[in-house]
Amino acid sequence: MVDPRPAPQVSLRGVSAGYARTIALSQLDVDIPPLMVTAVLGPNGSGKSTLLGILAGVIPTTSGTVVHRTAGRPAFVVQRSAVADTLPLTVREAVAMGRWGRLGPIRRPSAEDREAVESSMERLDVADLAQRQLGELSGGQRQRVLVAQGLAQGADLLLLDEPASALDGSAREMIARVLDEVTAEGVTVVQATHDITAARQSGHCLLLDGGRVLASGSPRHVLAESRWETVRGR
């Protein structure tokens, strides 16, 4: 009998990773379903950021296999705190960096590239800040610029590390709406988050604890009291 479920966008089997003598992830078996938002939850140090780094291809595994079913390079949006305040970039220049992977060393931006930048700024409500320097922005504004940069890349796998951590309630709702829109347009999203509201609104959840998968599946399944209370508040 043919399995009606679509193939995972990314599959991890027996994946471990770490730094020096520290094990960050241990023997993970994970499937990332396509065309929906996967929320990755867990306490600090549970391995959320490491998992995103592995999915992005910027952190090597120490064992196991990672199989991507993506058309190109993933877009990886880091936390705001990982971007230096002193970078001499305007908002438009920062968002345009999302197109560099498509441009190569010599090709000039096309009309399509410019449209992707403008559209991404509009979606994240930062178009009116286009000429401002990154260092002049509030934390929440800069975080929205980084998300716009990720959207501008046009990847079919978008990875977000705590995208709403510096945002107020209305901005978090905007991010959630934009993520729903891009999944409907053919993008798979994985976001590490502490926001339970965002997790409940996602299509799929992973709960990590101590570098292992504690639960995986629908938000209702993963956030069941017996599982969530195990790690809540840590």
pLDDT tens digits for 89-132?
A: 899 999 999 988 776 656 678 899 999 999 999 999 999 999 99
- Provide CB contacts within 8 A for 77, sequence distance 6+: 146, 147, 149, 150, 158, 159, 160, 161, 163
pTM (predicted TM-score):
0.90
Q: Note whether 41 and 206 are within 8 A (CB).
A: yes
pLDDT tens digits for 161-189?
A: 998 877 888 888 999 999 999 999 999 99
Helices 139-152 and 169-184 sit at what angle, rounded to 10 degrees?
A: 0
Q: Note whether 32 and 55 are within 8 A (CB).
A: yes
pLDDT-based confidence at residue 216 (cuts at 50, 70, 90): very high
Select from 215, 222, 178, 173 the least CA-distant residue to 198: 173
**Which H/E stretch holds residue 15?**
strand 10-19
| Distance, CA of 95 to CA of 219 (rounded, Å) | 32
Cα-Cα-Cα-Cα torsion 6, 155, 161, 200, nearest 10 degrees, comes to: -40
| Distance, CA of 41 to CA of 104 (rounded, Å) | 35
DSSP labels for 35-48? SSEEEEE--TTSSH
